[in-house]
Amino acid sequence: MNVTELYKTAKEYGIESNEVEIILKELRKKMLEIHPDKFQGEFPNDETKERFHKLQELLGSQEQANNALIPISAVKDLIAYSQNINKESKEVRLETKLKDSINDYEPDIGRRAKLPKISLTAITTIISFLWLFPGQISEHPILSKFIRTDSMFFTAFWIALICYTLMFWIFGMINENSEKYTLRQIKTERFQGNLFEEFIDWCKRENKESFKRSELISFTGNRVGKRTHSPMNMFFSSSIDEQIFENLANLIISKAEQKQLIKIIDGAGFEDKFEIKTDTNNVHDDHVG
């Protein structure tokens, strides 16, 4: 039996187990589901027929090997394939965690500026109404003593308030779109690879041959934070959740380990420590993406 072929077939049918017996059991179920007896003795189409015969051949070869020892080559295939599956599943889990943390944060984008926007717009609307209909003030016994809508000061204040309100809304839209764009980029392999390259360059400038996981997380936060800096810092600057930076750093580390650009040298403490391989000089040609 070709163990690699067995695992590939299992993956095609969405079977996540690494145990041969469980895989064979599930594949037998799949074969029974498309047995010609289920379709009045005939296959509904050529694709179903091909799938059935492929499963039948694969399971038949296993039955012939039931009383034989698994050859060493098959064991090697099994180990190698299992390692690849574990690496792929770990990377998928990390990518899922990153996407989930981004999806959880996205509803908060622009939330801090929501109340100032509403308040500023309301005030501007009121001042505009008073400027357009000055009679509302002149007829009021108290407000007419303090507010003169026909004065240059009131007109200048009204124009300035309109301009500021427009700028506030425009900057708000720009920064919200910028932050959403950055979050979309974070998910891409190109962004992750470039970020890893920048971090390795920083380590070299600092004469660091190794780094802690927290250092990459901090570096990630600083770099992403600069991309979402706002001229109206109080309301629009990014407050991206730290969990996003941590998930992004963990994903980058996993990809860098898989490409053998770094290796763990201390995983017994509170946080992992990684050694930078000397061949990361070529990281620009073979980055984590």
Q: Is the pLDDT of residue 35 over 70?
A: yes
Tokens describing residue 21: 């017996």
Helices vs. strands in the chain: H and E counts, helices first: 12, 3
How high is the pLDDT of residue 65? 58
Sheet of 262-266: strands edge to edge? Answer: 210-212, 273-276, 262-266
DSSP 8-state symbol, 210: E
Q: Pick from 191, 190, 182, 192: which is nearest to 256 by CA?
A: 192
Q: What is the dihedral of CA 6, 8, 11, 15, to 10 degrees?
A: 10
Higher pLDDT, 13 or 236: 13
If DSSP codes are grouped into helix, strand and coil, which group holds residue 187? coil
Higher pLDDT, 274 or 126: 274
Average pLDDT of 41-59? Answer: 83
What is the amino acid identity at position 129? F
How high is the pLDDT of residue 69? 47
Q: Is the pLDDT of residue 87 over 80?
A: no
Give residue 237's pLDDT band: very low, low, confident or very high (50, 70, 90). low
How high is the pLDDT of residue 152? 78
How high is the pLDDT of residue 196? 93
Q: How far apart are CA 195 and CA 276, in angstroms?
A: 15
How high is the pLDDT of residue 84? 57
Q: Give the mean pLDDT of the chain.
A: 76
> Over the stretch 113-136, which tens digit does the pLDDT of each residue have?
677 778 878 888 877 776 766 666
Q: How far apart are CA 15 and CA 87, in angstroms?
A: 16
Largest Cα–Cα distance in the chain? 105
Average pLDDT of 78-102? Answer: 71
Average pLDDT of 189-206? Answer: 92
How high is the pLDDT of residue 195? 92
Average pLDDT of 188-215? Answer: 91
